[in-house]
Amino acid sequence: MSETKNIHLKTILLTLALLVLSYFAGDYMLAAVIDPMYREGIIPGTAATWRTYAGLLKTIPGFVGLALTIVWGVLADKIGRPRLLFILGITMGVSLALVGFAMNYIYLLLVLTIFGIAKIGIGPVIYAFIPDIMPPEKRGLGYAAYYAPSVLGFVVGMIIGGILFYWRTAYLLVGLMILVFAVPLYLLSRGIRIGFAEKKTIEKKYRFMDALRATMNKTITLMMIQIIPWSIPWGFVTLFAVDYIMKRWGLSKPVASGILAIAALSIATGHVLGGKLADNLVRKGDINGRVKISVVGIAIGYLAMLGMFIYPYPYGSTAIADLLPPVILALAGLMFTTFAYPNISSVISDCTYPEYRGTVFSLYNILNTSGWAIGPVIYGLITGYYISTGLAEKTALMYSAVLIEALWLISLIIWIIIGKTYPRDRIQ
């Protein structure tokens, strides 16, 4: 690959990362602004019911977006990825900017639903686009350029919407940010065709049933199976981590939120390290490098998170000496476990023909998003059961967390099996 071409592709990847950071910031920002929206009368309801209306602002766009995911995956395979990235990027930017002009709940729900359709729909398009611009030995870092900013978007969204700006201004700003990055991304990637970065291309005409049959590849089937037990604990951790720290450790909400913000940085670091380390092994000729990094990461991460959940924290203490051990365990657990995420996507792309990746990744996206969505519900049900048996709340929270985290062991076992199937299932 020439130096000029290499710089061009890196510029595309950087612009894509900034686009991802921007729209995830807009997505996460809602949590920081629902209270002022309610106080201004945009979100209806009484003190007892307004949170239900606020929750629907996430739930309805999420379900509608998920229902249409397969459409965007198929279109990504039929019309190409750059054009679709542009359409969905512009849609997200305009819809978020329009949130700043909301005068009633129905309008707000409508524009956020449009945003949700585009935000969830762009996922499989990006998953398919990255292997178009990154060769197999660099895809770990390529996918990290998607996953890391998707996590950092949480921090950026909380700062923009919760600290720096009035909510209307914040949405206008983030909407403009998305537009600013969506346009140059399209201009830079206009010459990127399906399978552009492949060393050897095998032209295939797209047929929907052939694309579905591609998921019958043993490695892809195993990946699809493992993504549910893999993503359920993540859904629980991201939604209930602050509550767990407050109730189990006896800390205030600001302190617990601060720990979560630091944890977000460790997760982003894990994405980059996991992708980079696996890429290095692959470049050295270790075909199973991605499997090895993922297995080691999940094993270490599981043990560290288990240690954090059962740590005998001195309730209510804010002393640094008391905070440091469990916080280090949490940061290490989240960082190491995250090693697997960019390699999941890399393995799927390596085992799928370029012409089918949009469709295959749309199915992956549905399963991944579903796991994140049901994780909090399962945690709530298990916790409720334990409390109903007479267990103290602190103990019930710990048992529930340990039980849900054990699902990562299923993923670990499946990864070990993938180590046998992946070398022969790769598209050569």
CATH code, domain with 297: 1.20.1250.20
How far CA 205 is from CA of 131, 229, 261, 355, 361, in Å, comes to 18, 34, 46, 7, 18
Total domain count, the chain: 2
- DSSP annotation of 215: G
| Element at 196 (helix H, strand E) | none
Tell me: do 183 and 216 sit in the same domain: no
**Residue 149, domain member (yes or no):** yes
pLDDT number for residue 206: 83
Burial of 286 (0-12, 13-18, 19+ CB in 10 A): middle
- Predicted pLDDT of residue 258: 85
45 and 150 in a single domain? The answer is yes
The whole-angstrom separation of Cα 337 and Cα 192 is 33
CB 71 within 8 A of CB 123: no
Residue 200 lies in a domain: no
Residue 340 resides in a domain: yes
173 in any annotated domain: yes
Residues 43 and 91 in one domain: yes
Secondary element (H or E) of residue 314: none
Residue 374 CA to residue 361 CA, distance in Å, equals 20
408 and 288 share one domain: yes
- Classify residue 206 as exposed, middle or buried by CB count within 10 Å of its CB (0-12, 13-18, 19+): middle
224 and 360 housed in the same domain: yes
Q: Is 197 within the bounds of a domain? A: no
* Cβ 128 vs Cβ 139: under 8 Å: no
Same domain, 217 and 163: no
Give the number of other Cβ atoms within 10 Å of residue 207's Cβ.
12
Q: Is residue 41 part of a domain?
A: yes
pLDDT tens, per residue, the chain with 428 residues: 566 777 888 899 999 999 999 999 999 888 888 888 989 999 998 877 887 888 888 888 988 999 999 999 999 999 889 999 999 999 999 999 999 999 999 999 999 999 999 999 999 999 999 999 999 999 999 999 999 999 999 889 888 988 889 999 999 999 999 999 999 999 999 889 988 888 776 667 888 888 888 888 999 999 999 999 999 999 888 777 888 898 899 998 888 888 888 888 999 999 999 999 999 999 999 999 999 999 999 999 999 999 999 999 999 999 999 999 999 999 999 999 999 999 999 999 999 999 999 999 999 999 998 888 888 888 888 988 999 999 998 999 999 999 999 999 999 999 999 999 999 999 87
Residue 150, CA distances (Å) to 2, 16, 28, 245, 386 in order: 30, 11, 10, 23, 34
| Residues 48 and 80 reside in one and the same domain | yes
Look up the domain containing 392 and give its range.
206-428
pLDDT of residue 380: 86
CA dihedral 170, 171, 176, 181 (to 10 degrees): 100
Residues 123 and 150 in one domain: yes
End-to-end Cα separation, the chain, in angstroms = 19
Q: What is the DSSP letter of 352?
A: S
- Residue 195 domain-assigned? no
**Is residue 149 located within the same domain as residue 218?**
no
Q: With respect to residue 58, please indicate whether it lies within any of the assigned structural domains.
A: yes
How far is it, in rounded angstroms, from Cα 314 to Cα 301? Answer: 23
What interhelical angle do 167-188 and 3-28 show, nearest 10?
Answer: 160
226 & 176 share domain: no
Same domain for 134 and 233: no
Radius of gyration of the CA atoms of the chain, in A: 21
* pLDDT value of residue 264: 86
Supply the pLDDT for residue 165: 92
Query: Same structural domain for residues 249 and 171?
Result: no
